[in-house]
Amino acid sequence: MYTSNALTTTFLSLLSLATALPTTPPTELVPRCGTTILPVLHSISNKNPSQPAPLTTTFSVSTTVNPAPQPPTLVNTILTFPSIPANSYGCTIAYRIPSGTPVTITGNPTLNITTLGPTSAGYTWDSVYAQQPQPFTHGLFGTVNLAQGGEAVVNSMACPVGGGQLVFMAAIANWVWGSAGVEVAQQNGAGFYLTYNC
């Protein structure tokens, strides 16, 4: 359904979203009901715990087991859905990966999706995990296993009162044994999206 122009537009929209969050209109991905917003992605890792999460266009979450006594290497993706209008309702997170989209899957990467409080400063690994209170606002929001050619709703929640952004974090669920990971490029029209007014 995407022409390469649409792809370029989507990519550029994501880039400009990063620099000017409130001004860029939402980008359509797969309109179902209501309006669709694509996330801005940031990556955090316990390897660089104080580094402000860099912007990325690849959704990448992994746990890599290292030889003892080193701890596992953990990579999470933070998903920020910007500019949700005031008076929106039914904010729903879902994913879709059109068949044929390259997806890299290692092990059994069940994703733990949690909600984070919005912050203008952006997150680091330490600001998510090392500070008290931790910024999780609703605990476990949902779990999901991404599959090529798959789609699923993760969960729904109230949209922000007065409008604003919703922030989520995807990590490998803590019951997953061994190394596991999933990686998919957001700009292929694949990945997570938010709908509202459904």
Ligand X SMILES: *[C@@H]1O[C@H](CO)[C@@H](O)[C@H](O)[C@H]1NC(C)=O
- Separation of alpha carbons 177 and 110, rounded Å: 10
Asked if 74 touches ligand X (CB under 6 A), the answer is no
177 is written with which tokens?
Answer: 């044994």
Asked if 63 touches ligand X (CB under 6 A), the answer is no
Rounding to the nearest 10 degrees, give the CA dihedral for residues 122, 126, 130, 133. 0
How far are the Cα atoms of 7, 13, 85, 103 from residue 187, in angstroms, in the given order? 7, 10, 24, 12
Task: Look up residue 182 and give its amino acid.
Answer: V
The piece of 16-24, 67-75, 115-123, 168-176 that touches ligand X (CB under 6 A) is 168-176
- Separation of alpha carbons 186 and 70, rounded Å: 31
119 is written with which tokens?
Answer: 């912050």
Asked if 174 touches ligand X (CB under 6 A), the answer is yes
- Separation of alpha carbons 32 and 28, rounded Å: 10
Site size for ligand X, by CB under 6 A?
7
- 173, 185, 190, 194: which one binds ligand X (CB under 6 A): 173
Task: Look up residue 179 and give its amino acid.
Answer: S
Q: Which of 44/159 has CB closer to ligand X? A: 44
Asked if 158 touches ligand X (CB under 6 A), the answer is no
Asked if 171 touches ligand X (CB under 6 A), the answer is yes
Asked if 6 touches ligand X (CB under 6 A), the answer is no
125 CB-side CA count, 13 A: 14
- 122, 136, 147, 152: which one binds ligand X (CB under 6 A): 136
Residues 13-42: x where in contact with ligand X by CB under 6 A, - otherwise, as a string: ------------------------------
Asked if 115 touches ligand X (CB under 6 A), the answer is no
CB of 111 to ligand X, least distance (A): 9
Binding site for ligand X (CB under 6 A): 112, 114, 136, 140, 171, 173-174
